[in-house]
Structure 1
Amino acid sequence: MSTPLEHYALLSDLRTGPLVSRDGSIDWLCLPRFDSPAVFSAILGDAEDGRWKLSVPDGEVVERRYLPQTFVLETVWRSRTGRVRVTDFLPPSTSQGDLVRRVECLEGQVRVEHDLRLRFDYARATPWTREIERDGQERCLLALAGPDAILITGPMLHWPGNGDGGGEDDDGSAASVAEHPGTQPAEGRRAPRLVGSFNLDAGDVLDWDLTWFSSYRDVPEPPDADRALASTVRFWTDWASHLQVDSDHQDLVLRSLLVLRALTHLDTGGIVAAPTASLPEYFGGGRNWDYRYTWLRDAALTIEVAIAHGLTRGATLWRDWLLRAVAGDADEVKIMYGLGGERELTETELEHLDGYENSRPVRVGNGAADQYQADVVGEVMIALHELREAGVAENEYTWGLQKSLLAYCEANFDRQDHGIWEMRGDTHYFTHGRAMMWAAFDRGLRAVEEHGYDGPAERWRDLRDRLADEIEEHGFDAELNAYTQTYDNTEVDASLLQLPHTGYLAYDDPRMLGTVERIEQDLVTSEGLVYRYRTEAGMDGLEGEEYPFVMCTFWLVEQYANSGRLDRAREVMDHMVAQASDLGLLAEQYDPETGRQAGNFPQAFSHMGLIRAADAIQAAAEDR
C-alpha cells in the first residue's frame, strides 16, 4: 500500500512544496519550482523513483508537529537507547532551492540512517555524482543531470560498499560520525544511491543541506543552518501575525490560511492548486491530474478569503498576478496558467511510473488548460469587486483589463463549455457557469454605478438580465423545484451550491432550498460528504469513479449555516475537519470507506472551503 496522504507533511519556501512522510521519507520534491520536473517521485512509484529517507532504524515516531504558525516540521523519534528530533525546513530567504534536515539527539545515544536516491526529471535521469571539495577543505557531493545540479553538504554520505546494507559497515556494526569515510566510486560513476549511518550522543547536532542550482552556474554557498532556521521561523510567524481569525476552528483556519500562503510562489504571486501531480481521485483509477498550476478560479477564491482575514495587501499581489497572466490574452482567456503566467501546459503521460496505489496513467501538464469554462470570469469579477469594497482602488490598467474580460464574456455569450469540473466529454450550458457569467456582468455594472468607473452600463445590465431570464427558463426545473446541472439534463451538481455566493439568489430562497434537497438525495452521504456530481450519469467523458469532494462538503456547510440550519452545519463541519491530518492538511477528496484522503495534496480548494465554512458558521452563530 502507498503511504497514506494524511501521513505526509508539506514543506514550503514559496517556490516548491516537498512532501515528507511520517517515517522521514521525502517522496516528492520538484526543483526549483512547484511545476518543475520532480527530483523525488517515490510517491508516484517506489523508492527507486527517488526519495530521501532520514530515519531511526530501530525507533518509532512519537511526536510530529509544525513549529507554531510555520512550515518548519519537527519529528521526534524514540529508540531503545534514546531520542532524537529531526527538523525539516526550506528557507524562503535563499535564492537557490535549499532543503535543510537537522538531527538533534535529545537523550541517550541514537543511530540515524540516510537513504538518498536522486532521480531527476521524474526518475527519467539518474545524475552523475562525485565528491568535490569546497573552500579547499569541506568534502561534499555534487550531482549533475542536464540543466540541473544538486549539492549535498553535511556529514558525508557514501555509495554503498560490498555487503553494505545501506547504513552499516561491511561487518554489520554501525559507523560513527567520525569513522565513516564513504566509498567513492571511480570518477564520474553514476550513483543510484547514497547512504549514511551516524551515531549521536545527547547534545549532538548534525545538519544536512540539499541545494539545487543551475548546472551551468558556480557551486553556491549553502545556508548556515542556525541562521536559516531562525529566519524561516521569523518569515512565517511575521506573515501569520497579520491574520485575523475568529472561529471555533481557529487553529485549522489559521493552518488553512498558511497553506494558501505556502502554495503561493514568492516571486510571481501565482498560487498552485496543489503542489502535487497525478494523485488519484479514486485509488486504482485513471482520474489523475497535474494540479501544479494557477487556475484563475483558485486565484479569485484566494483573493476573497484573504480579504476576509485582513490580508488586503496579499490579495492585491494575487490580483496583480491574475491581471498579468491575462494581459495580452484577454481575447482568449485561459482557465489556468503556469506560475509565471505561461500558457503552454502540454499534458503528457509518464509510462515508467506505476502511480500512487497503482493508479495510472501518471500525468504531468494539464490538457484542461485549453478548455473554455464559462464560470471563470465571473469568479474573477466577484473577487475584484470584493477588493474594491475593501478600499483598494482601481487604476486604468486594472479596470481596463476587467472591461476586456467582460468583452470576452460577451463575445462568448452563446458558447457552451466544459463546466467548473473540467469534464472531458461534450460541452453544455452548465447552470453554474451561466450564473457566474451573470455575476461577471453584475459586478461590472456595480463598478460603474457604485464606484464611478466607466463602462457600457446599459449593455452589461441587458446581458445580465438576459442571463437571469435564461437560467430561470432552462436551468430551473419547476417540477423538481431545483436548478439542474445543465440546461439539457435533470441532474444536480455540487457547483449549484455556489449560486447564492454569486448574489444570484438568497441562501434561503425556496428554489435554492429545493436544489439543496435534491443534492442531499443524489450527492450526499449519510455523514454529509458531498460528491461533485453523479459520475455514473456519463457526463464527464471519463471512466471510473471518484470519492466525495472536500471543498463541496464545505460548500454544503456554508449553505446550511446561511439558511438557518446551524446545528447541521456544525455537525457536518465537525465530521469533515476530523478527517484533516494531524498537521491540519486536507487533500482534494476523502474516501469514507477506508478513512483515507485522496487526490492531490494538500489542496488549496479544500482549505479555501474550510475557511469559508468556518466563517459562515461563526457569522450565523453571532446573528442568533
Structure 2
Amino acid sequence: MDGTSSDGAPGRRGYLPISEHGLIGDLRSVALVGSNGTIDWYCCSAFDAPSVFASILDKERGGCFELAASVPARTKQFYFPDTNVLITRFFTEDGVGEVQDFMPITGESAEAERHRLIRRVLCVRGAIPFHARVAPRFDYGTQPHTLRMVSDVAVFESADLSLGLTSTVHLDAAGLDAHADFKLSEGESAVFALDQVGDDVAPRCCPSQEAEQQFSATVAYWRRWLSASKYRGRWREMVHRSALTLKLLTYAPTGAIVAAPTTSLPEQFGGERNWDYRYVWVRDAAFCVYALLRLGFTGEADAFMKFVTQHITPGDGKPSGPLQIMYGIDGRTDLPERELDHLEGHEGSTPVRIGNAAADQLQLDIYGALIDSVYLYDKWARPISSAQWDDVCALVDWVCEHWHQPDEGIWETRGGRKSFLYSRLMCWVAIERAIRMANRRGLPADIVRWRGVRDTIYRRIMSQGWSERRMAFVQHEDDEVLDAAVLMMPLSKFIAPTDPKWLSTLDALTQDLVSDSLVYRYDPRASPDGLRGDEGTFSICSFWYVEALVRAGRVEEARLAFEKMLTYANHLGLYAEEISHTGQQQGNFPQAFTHLALISAAFNLDKALG
C-alpha cells in the first residue's frame, strides 16, 4: 500500500507513534522502521530473541539505527509494490532521497545465520547530506558491549551476540556507537549492511552491486510468493498487504506464526496493559491458517500443521491434560514472565514485560480454533493422516470431559475464571468439526458420545448464555455483560445469522460496544478483568462485526463499517491491536489476529456484494 506519514513528528515524550512504522523481515525476525528513518525495534536472530534495538520501548537506553537526511525533511513511506521491501523518502529543499530497507530471504543456507539487514540509501534528485548512527544495546539494554573497527567493519561484541556493520561510506567510532556523515548527489548511493557474525559467519562487506542483486532477489521472492494468491476482490491492495504481513510473522524453521513481533507496546498509554506477543498463540495461529487457506497459500498451512503435530497435539492419541495456550516459536512451553524495570516503556508506559504468564491459563476456546483449523486443512489442503486423526480424537474426548469448567477465556483476563460463553461456543466447534471430518471421510469415532456432548453444550449456551433482560447472548453465565467475542456465534455456524435471538444480540452489541464501526471487546468496568485502566477498541472485533453484519444481510451497513475501518490503518495498511478514542493505534504492532480478520471480512463482503 502506498501511503504517507505526516512529517515523522514525534509523539509524547519524544516517541514516534506506534503507527508511524513499517515492517521488514526475513521469516525469522523483523525490524520496525520509523517514518523518520530510524530502526527502533529489532531482535536478532529470532522474533523472541533479546532486542538489539529497542528505542520504541526506551528512547535513551533501548538502542537504535538512525539513518536520515541531516537537514530538515518531510518523509513518506511506502512498500515497493507487492513486496515487504520498505522505502522511506526524504524531501528536502535541495533534493529527494530515499532509504530502501529489507532483509534478504536466504532459505536454509549458511547465509540464513547472517540475518542480514540492508539499508540502501539513494539520492534521486538534487543533493542531500545524510547522517547514520548505529547504537545497539544488547539484551534489552542490559548486556555491555565493545566496539572495534576491523578494516572497514565495525564489530559490536557482547557476551552472547556479535554484529558486524559494513558500509560503502566511511564509518567512525564514537564510544560504543558507529557514525557516518556523507553527502549524495543525484544518482549516487550508499549501502549499510548489519550482520550477525561469529565463528561460522565472518564479517563480509556489501558493495553496491551486491546490494542491488539482493534487492532484486528479495523483490522477486515476495512477488513470487504473493502471485499464489487467489484473491481478486475489491480490496486487493489491503488484503495482499495483510497476507504479506502474516507471512512476515511466520518463523520459517518451524512454521510457527507469532501473534505480533513486539512486546509491551501499550494498550493504554501510561497504563499497565503491556504484554509480550512474540509467541505462537494456538488461537491466533489457527485463524491465520484459515485466512491463508482462503487466499490459496497451502504451503503455510502445511508448515503450521507440522508445527501442530510436533508441538501442540498430545501424540499417540492420548490426552495429557489441557493444552497450553501459547508456545515459543521453537515449540518450547516454558515462557516465564518478568519485568524489565530499567526500561521506561513506550511513552512512559510501564511495566515492560518479556515472557507471558498467560501461558499457564486455562482457555478452553483454543480447542475449537485448533480443530477448526485441522478441519479446514483436511477439507481445502490435504487429508490429515491417521495419526493426526488419533490426536484429534484425543483432543475431542478431553473436551467432552472438561468443557463445563470455568476458564480465563479468550481475552486472558486476570480476574479469575468464569463460565465464558465463547469458551463453551468453541468447545462446541471442536466437537462439531470433528464429527464433520469423521462423517465425510468415514473415520472411526465415538460419534454417539460426541453428538450427545455437542448437543448438551448447545442447549447450555441457549439457556444459560442468553439474557432475557438484555435480549442478547452475554459474556458469561450468571451475568448480563456483553462481549464482542459472541460475534463469532454466526461466524462459526453455531447459530443462523438471521436467527431472531442473534439479530437482537447484534443490535445490543451495536448499542453498547460499537463506536462509529469500531468495537470494544467488553466494558472492563462492568466486567472487571483484574487490571487497571481502560483500553481502546479491538480491531479484530471490528472486522468480526463487519462479517456478522454481512451474514445478517445488512450488506451496505457492513460495507460502510469496513471502509471506515480501513481508514484506521496506518499509512502502510498495518494495524496494531487496538485503536484509541482519538484514532491512535495502540498495543503490539502489527497484530496477526487483526490482519487475518480483515482478510476474512473482505472475502465474505466481496462474496455478498457479488
Which category describes the TM-score, using the shorter chain as reference length? over 0.9
Indicate yes or no: 2:607 matched with 1:619. Answer: yes
Work out whether residues 520 and 541 of structure 2, in 8 Å CA contact, stay in contact via their aligned partners in 1.
yes
Which whole-Å deviations, capped at 9, do the CAs of 1:88-130 have from their partners, x for residues lacking one?
A: 1111114121110111122322111012211000111231110
1:503 Cα deviation from its structure 2 partner: 1.6
Matched with 1:219 is 202
Match of 2:119 among 91, 101, 121: 101
Q: Secondary structure at the match of 1:101?
A: strand
1:85, distance to aligned residue in structure 2 (A): 1.9
Encode CA deviations 1:257-287: one digit per residue, 9 max, x unaligned: 1111110011111011111000011111100
Equivalent residue letter for 1:500? P
Counterpart in the other structure of 1:566: 555
Q: State the Cα deviation string for residues 318-337 of structure 1 (Å, max 9, x = none).
A: 22212222145752311110
Counterpart CA distance in 2 for 1:227 and 1:411 is 58
Counterpart residue number, 2:513? 523
1:477 aligned partner: 467
In 1: Cα distance, 2:338 partner to 2:543 partner: 32
Distance 2:252 2:329 in 1: 10
Instruction: Give yes or no for the alignment of 1:283 onto 2:269.
Output: yes
Query: Structure 2 residue aligned with 1:534, among 507, 523, 531?
Result: 523
**Alignment partner of 1:586 out of 575, 579, 584:** 575
Structure 2 segments unaligned to the other structure (5+ residues):
1-11
Q: SS at 1:245's partner residue?
A: coil
Is 2:138 aligned against 1:120? yes
What SS does the aligned partner of 2:437 have?
helix
Given residue 111 of structure 1, which amino acid in structure 2 is its aligned partner?
P
Residue by residue, what CA displacement relative to the aligned partner does 1:434-485 show, whole Å, maximum 9, x if unpaired? Answer: 0110111111111111211111111111111111121122111234321110
Asked whether 1:433 is paired with 2:417, we answer no
Amino acid aligned to 2:124? L
Q: How many angstroms apart in 1 are the aligned matches of 2:527 and 2:514?
A: 18
The aligned length equals 584
Cross-structure match for 2:586:
598
- The answer on 1:298 being equivalent to 2:265 is no
**Cα distance in structure 1, aligned partners of 2:491 and 2:95:** 54
After superposition, the C-alpha distances for 1:304-344 in whole angstroms (9 at most, x for unaligned) are: 11111112232122222122221457523111101111101
| 1:62/1:43 CA distance change after superposition, 3 Å | closer
Q: Does structure 1 retain, via aligned residues, the 8 Å contact 2:40–2:54?
A: yes
What is the RMSD computed on CA atoms of the aligned residues?
1.5
Contact 2:153/2:205, CA 8 A, preserved across alignment: no
- Flag the structure with larger Rg: 1
| Gaps in structure 1 of 5+ consecutive residues | 134-138, 161-190
Secondary structure of 1:556 counterpart: helix
CA drift of 1:250 comes to 1.4
Measure, in 2, the Cα distance between the counterparts of 1:371 and 1:204.
55
| TM-score, with length taken from structure 1 | 0.91
Residue matched to 1:576: 565
Q: Secondary structure at the match of 1:499?
A: helix
- Match of residue 346, structure 1, among 315, 320, 336: 336
Instruction: Say if 2:271 is the partner of 1:271.
Output: no
Q: Which amino acid aligns with 1:209?
A: A
Q: What is residue 179 of structure 2 aligned with on the other side?
A: 195
Mapping for residues 151-300 of structure 1, pairs under 5 Å:
151-154=164-167, 155-160=169-174, 191-213=175-197, 215-221=198-204, 224-300=210-286
Confirm or deny: 8 A CA contact 1:554 1:613 kept in the other structure.
yes
* Kept after mapping to 2: 8 A contact 1:126/1:192: no
8 A Cα contact 1:59 1:77, kept in partner: no
1:428-507, aligned counterparts within 5 Å? 428-507=418-497
Identity score, percent:
35
Pairing partner for 1:318 from 299, 304, 316: 304
Native 8 Å contact 1:8 1:22 kept in 2:
yes
Counterpart of 1:156, as a letter, is H
Give the whole-Å Cα distance in 2 for the aligned partners of 1:322 and 1:222.
40
Contact 2:130 2:181 in 1 (8 A): yes
Q: Deviations over 1:227-273 (max 9, x none)?
A: 21111111100000000113222100110011111100111110111
User: Does structure 1 conserve the Cα–Cα contact (< 8 Å) formed by 2:123 and 2:188?
Assistant: yes
1:58 partner letter: V
Task: State which drifts further: 344-353 or 122-131.
Answer: 122-131
What is the identity, as a one-letter code, of the residue corresponding to 1:517? D
Distance 1:374 1:327 in 2: 14
User: Who is 2:540 aligned against?
Assistant: 551
What amino acid is aligned across from residue 207 of structure 1 in structure 2? V
Question: TM-score, length-normalised on structure 2?
Answer: 0.93
Counterpart position of 2:6: none
Distance 1:421 1:221, change over 3 A: same
The 1:62/1:220 distance shift into structure 2, 3 A limit, reads: closer
Contact kept? 1:132, 1:141, Cα under 8 Å? yes
1:79 has 2:99 as partner: no
SS in 2 for 1:142: strand
Distance 1:62 1:366 in 2: 36
1-structure distance, mates of 2:501, 2:204: 63
Instruction: Tell whether 2:380 aligns with 1:390.
Output: yes
1:142: how far off?
0.9
Deviation at 1:347?
0.6
Check 1:327–1:616 CA distance in 2 against 1; reply closer, same or farther (3 A cut): closer
Give the conservation status (yes or no) of the 8 Å contact 1:273–1:603. Answer: yes
Q: Hey, what's the Cα distance between the residues in 2 that align with 1:334 and 1:496?
A: 23
